[in-house]
C-alpha cells in the first residue's frame, strides 16, 4: 500500500485522469500495526477517488482487516486453501 500510494503521489495518472482508478490487493496476511498498517494509505487512496478491491488467500481469516481498507464490503474476496 505504501509503495502504491507513494508512486501515485509522485507520478499521478498522467493523461488518464478521466478513467476510474482501482487498486487490487492480493494478500495472504494482514498486519494492522506499525509501519505495515495499510489503513492510512487506504484512506488517502479512497479520499482521492481510488477504489480498493481486496482478495485474500490462505488459511487465515482476513475479512475484518480487509473490511477496513476495501472501498465496499462486496469487494472483498476470500479464498481458503
Counting other chains too, the contacts that 10-14 makes at CB distance below 8 Å and 24 or more residues apart are none
pLDDT at res. 36: 78
Which has the higher per-residue pLDDT, 15 or 44? 44
> Residue 70 pLDDT > 70, yes or no?
yes
pLDDT at res. 63: 66
CATH of the domain at 23: 3.40.50.410
Q: How many domains does the chain have?
A: 1
Which has the higher per-residue pLDDT, 56 or 43? 43
The C-alpha cell at 78 is: 476470500
Q: Which domain holds residue 29?
A: 2-80
> Residue 65 pLDDT > 70, yes or no?
yes
Q: What CA–CA distance (Å, rounded) separates 44 from 60?
A: 27
The C-alpha cell at 76 is: 472483498
Mean pLDDT of 11-38: 77
Amino acid at each position: 500500500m505504501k509503495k502504491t500510494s507513494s508512486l501515485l503521489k509522485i507520478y499521478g495518472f498522467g493523461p488518464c485522469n478521466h478513467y476510474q482508478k482501482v487498486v487490487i490487493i492480493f494478500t495472504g496476511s494482514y498486519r494492522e500495526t506499525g509501519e505495515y498498517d495499510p489503513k492510512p494509505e487506504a484512506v488517502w487512496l479512497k479520499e482521492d477517488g481510488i477504489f480498493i478491491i481486496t482478495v485474500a488467500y490462505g488459511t487465515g481469516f482476513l475479512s475484518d482487516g480487509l473490511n477496513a481498507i476495501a472501498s465496499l464490503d462486496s469487494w472483498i474476496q476470500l479464498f481458503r486453501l
